[in-house]
Chain A
Amino acid sequence: MANHNFNILYILLPIILIYSCSNPNEKQSNTLKNLDQEQVISDLSIYNLPSTWTTQNGDDIELKNLNGNVLVMVMIYTSCQVACPRLVADMRNIDAQLPQKNKNNVKFIMVSIDPETDTPERLKSFSIENKMETDQWLFLRGTEDDTREFAAVLAVNYKQISPMNFSHSNIISVFNKKGELQHQQEGLGMDNKETIETIIQLTN
């Protein structure tokens, strides 16, 4: 009898597992334990996104692991010739203008829109080339689907033009410590003043 039960379990378990994996959001809202967690995460927070990302150091993280930091985010791809270097320069410029005391809880995050090319190794060497090697700088790569979804959250539009070339809107987004969008700067070579002021306000 015990053997029979074991057999049933053995067959059903993968099915149950597949089912439970396919419904992460819906399952969450059904369990009390997770309801508590969700109350901590506000309705407008990007920490509601369930996606997992790989960093330039090969670590897997979820966005909610960044909880408590002010996030400055931009979507780029490392083989970009035209605008991305300017976006990267904007990010560095913002960093340089922040007073030291405001830097502790700020993360600068570059999310790749070309996950196929931008492997963690490639992101790592990009970070070295651009002297963005401190803990403050995070380069993220996700699945194509999660990337599209994340872009949708940031209202960043992008399209692959050729295997090595994308069109994308140039937006730098600032999130508060709860993961709520506070400010967006759109365009290149813009005055970074408002973005910097927002970050200072959020870290004070």
Chain B
Amino acid sequence: MKCVTGFFCWSAFMVMTFINVNAQSVGMVEIKGGAFVPLYGNDSVKVKVDDFFIDVFPITREEYLQFVKDNPYWQRSNAKKIFADGNYLINWYNDLHLNEDTPPQAPITNVSWFAAKRYCEIQGKRLPTMDEWEFVAMANEKLPDARTDSLYNQYILNWYETPKTFNQQIGSTFKNYWGVYDLHGLVWEWTLDFNSVLLSGESRKDVDNDRNLFCGSGSIGATDLMNYAAFMRYAFRGSIKANYSVKNLGFRCAKDK
């Protein structure tokens, strides 16, 4: 009897070890944290980012298909409107079949924040915070912080002007300093705290100088107006709601170290 107990303890241990190793490292790289000044935050206040893991690639359509197969709650016809609006997976042929005009290896888009968040949670991960995402995304091929490189900024802005990049396969843009692909060039990505963006007058309301919309001292001034690209990202985050499913907005997952 002791032997049986031992055996099962051993197998349980092995299974747990496997799950643990699996969840942490497959498809993820470690990001060594640090302090940086985000382009849009409190003026000149450094933000500290701890060490964490992040997915090398955005989640693909194929991977998301598997997720909805395993989790019927998130299939297009089952998803609650409060969590995913009418554009959720709108291009799919049906609940369990992708449309064929986009490769299965392209990033999943038309997913809401709730869906993206749940996807990561089920993998034992989470969405990256905005600070984490921006921290990794300021790297180019060679430098961890390439924000002052005009070519780098031009690359990003050129992408913002290129239509339909969401139809390309993952890995088709550059591999950055950390070994992470496609942060710029394919799709925009959800972050865990996208709803912490408070641009003055709140961008989505198109109201100037309305202090009454906010409590406290939080209206935001740019620490570096040069970086128009980052402004675009923050403005976009400030303009979307959590159940929106947008055709150029996907996600990837992160994990604490």
Which positions in A face B, CB cutoff 8 Å?
3-4, 7-8, 11-12, 15, 22-23, 25-26, 28-30, 43-46, 48, 76, 80-84, 87, 148-149, 151-153, 155-159, 161, 165-170, 186-190
Contacts and interface: CB of A to CB of B under 8 A. Distances in A.
B230 interface: no
Given A29-B72, A43-B80, A166-B215, A158 B242 contact: no
A84 B215 contact: yes
A15 B218 contact: no
Given A28-B73, A30-B72, A170 B195 contact: no
Interface of B: 1, 4-5, 8-9, 12, 42, 70-74, 78, 80-83, 113-114, 117-118, 121-122, 192-193, 195-198, 202, 205, 210, 212-219, 238, 241-243
B217 A165 contact: yes
Contacts of A11: 5, 8-9, 12
A165 B219 CA distance: 13
A22 B122 contact: yes
Contacts of A161: 42, 216-218
17 contacts: A7-B4, A22-B121, A28-B73, A43-B81, A43-B82, A82-B217, A87-B215, A148-B193, A153-B82, A157-B197, A158-B198, A159-B197, A161-B42, A167-B219, A168-B216, A169-B202, A190-B212
A167 B113 contact: no
A161 B216 CA distance: 9
A3 B140 CA distance: 60
Main secondary structure of the interface of A (DSSP, over half): mixed
Given A157-B196, A157-B202, A170 B8 contact: no
Contact of B213 (A148, A165, A170): A170
B8 A159 contact: no
Contact of A166 (B83, B113, B218): B218
B241 A155 contact: yes
B214 A170 contact: yes
Contacts of B73: 25-26, 28-29
Contacts of A15: 12
Contacts of B213: 169-170, 186-188
Given A170-B214, A186-B213, A26 B72 contact: yes
B8 A148 contact: no
A151 B82 contact: no
Given A29-B78, A165-B217, 19 more contacts: A3-B1, A7-B8, A12-B12, A22-B121, A22-B122, A23-B71, A23-B122, A25-B71, A25-B118, A81-B216, A149-B242, A152-B114, A156-B195, A158-B198, A166-B215, A168-B198, A168-B216, A186-B205, A188-B213
Name which of A80, A169, A189 has the most chain B CB atoms within 10 A of its CB: A169
A55 to B, nearest CB: 23
B195 to A, nearest CB: 5
A81 B216 CA distance: 8
A42 to B, nearest CB: 9
A2 B120 CA distance: 40
B195 A157 contact: yes
A15 B4 CA distance: 18
B64 to A, nearest CB: 15
